[in-house]
């Protein structure tokens, strides 16, 4: 896809920033300073978005979303929603048009609860950790290819298994097996990483590395979007990196050539285009151990995330 190649080719590589085991390589671009959409947290805080169970009985892999705003709202893969009958995370990135109502695909991140806590969901201010996002992305792409579905089945099983692994790794107890509880348990350790990474001028994305191994890459269409979501992104990657606390940190910064090779690998990988859940095209990119997904809309890459299976940490 020329749009993907053109976008990746135009990126500049910033100066790496490291904290303990985690390194962020900023991706810079000349782009609009602010987006023409609202972000999910801002829309929820302003009462311009509503997320509920699809019915009184509910359905684990689906939620109802309503955009009450006069602008699009961007929902980003892995963002957490808390409340209602159980906490969920978004299975992929969705751009919802002004006034639109639709069903969105999600995964449960609270396996031990199926009881009402509220009628509407609120933002959990968290994002599914990177290693689980990789497994979920792989499952969503396979399910779309084989069954035309974006939720359920093995996707859900992988998410639950990853949360259980984190509970054991951090010696955390949660009666409802809640990802949110595990994040709260690790908050003091996460905060140190979060405060070390600040958005750079013109930064629209980042590649993250744990002790020199690729953890993943996220790219957005404006510096505003990256800056607002960076704390969630850093937590997502640091949640895997802090498992190595106590070991000697080896935050070797990748070379410029390595980052360019990664971007070229994403651009050259086989891809399949599907109609998006709402606005735009859902691009699934797979090949040679690479799993990536991009939401393309209005002649731009709104969000791209990419993971390499042979470089995963926390697996």
Q: What is the pLDDT of residue 216?
A: 96
Partners of residue 209 on adjacent β-strands: 23, 214
Partnered with residue 275 across adjacent β-strands are: 281
pLDDT of residue 33: 87
pLDDT at 278: 97
CA distance 299 to 301: 7
The SS3 assignment for 123 reads: strand
Give me the pLDDT at residue 310, please.
Answer: 61
pLDDT at 313: 53
Mean pLDDT, consecutive 10-residue stretches, the chain (315 aa), reads 93 95 96 94 98 97 98 98 98 98 98 97 97 96 93 91 96 96 96 93 97 95 98 97 87 87 94 97 93 97 91 52
* pTM for this model (two decimals): 0.95
Phi and psi at 42, nearest 5°, equal -65, -40
For 36, other C-beta atoms within 10 Å of its C-beta total 11
- 284: Cα separation from own chain's centroid: 15
CA atoms within 13 A on the CB side of 215: 30
Nearest to 153 by CA among 51, 60, 282: 60
- 257 and 67 Cβ atoms separated by less than 8 Å: no
Of the candidates 24, 289, 8, 291, the one whose C-alpha atom is nearest the C-alpha of residue 133 is 291
For 65, counting Cβ atoms within 10 Å of its Cβ (0-12 exposed, 13-18 middle, 19+ buried), the class is buried
CA 201 → CA 126, 193, 194, 223, 303, distances in Å? 24, 20, 18, 8, 19
Give the separation between CA 128 and CA 136, rounded to whole angstroms.
Answer: 10
Name the one residue in this structure whose structure tokens are 């947290």. Answer: 41
Residue 99's CB is within 10 A of a number of other CB atoms, namely 12
Q: Are 222 and 203 in contact (CB under 8 A)?
A: no
Q: What DSSP line would sit under 180-209, residue for residue?
A: HHHHHHTHHHHHHHHHH--PPTTEEEEEEE
């Amino acid at each position: 896809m020329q749009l993907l190649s053109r976008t990746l080719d135009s990126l500049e590589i910033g100066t790496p920033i490291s904290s303990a085991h985690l390194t962020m390589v900023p991706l810079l671009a000349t782009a609009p300073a602010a987006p023409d959409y609202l972000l999910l947290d801002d829309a929820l805080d302003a009462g311009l978005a509503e997320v509920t169970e699809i019915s009184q009985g509910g359905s684990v892999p689906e939620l109802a979303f309503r955009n009450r705003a006069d602008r699009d709202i961007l929902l980003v893969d892995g963002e957490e929603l808390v409340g209602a009958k159980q906490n969920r995370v978004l299975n992929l990135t969705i751009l919802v048009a002004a006034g639109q109502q639709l069903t969105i695909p999600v995964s449960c991140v609270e396996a031990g609860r199926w009881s009402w806590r509220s009628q509407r969901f609120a933002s959990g201010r968290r994002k599914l950790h990177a290693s689980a996002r990789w497994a979920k992305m792989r499952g969503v792409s396979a399910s779309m290819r084989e069954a035309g579905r974006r939720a359920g089945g093995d996707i859900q099983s992988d998410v639950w298994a990853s949360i259980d692994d984190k509970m054991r790794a951090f010696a955390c107890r949660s009666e409802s097996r809640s990802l949110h509880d595990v994040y709260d348990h690790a908050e003091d350790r996460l905060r140190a990483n979060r405060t070390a990474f600040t958005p750079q001028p013109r930064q629209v994305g980042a590649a993250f590395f744990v002790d020199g191994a690729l953890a993943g890459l996220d790219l957005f269409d404006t510096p505003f979007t990256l800056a607002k979501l960076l704390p969630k992104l850093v937590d997502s990657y640091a949640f895997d990196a802090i498992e190595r606390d106590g070991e000697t940190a080896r935050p070797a910064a990748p070379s410029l050539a390595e980052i360019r090779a990664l971007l070229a690998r994403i651009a050259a990988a086989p891809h399949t285009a599907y109609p998006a859940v709402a606005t735009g095209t859902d691009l699934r990119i797979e090949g040679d151990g690479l799993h990536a997904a991009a939401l393309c809309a209005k002649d731009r890459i709104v969000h791209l995330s990419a993971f390499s299976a042979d470089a995963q940490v926390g697996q």
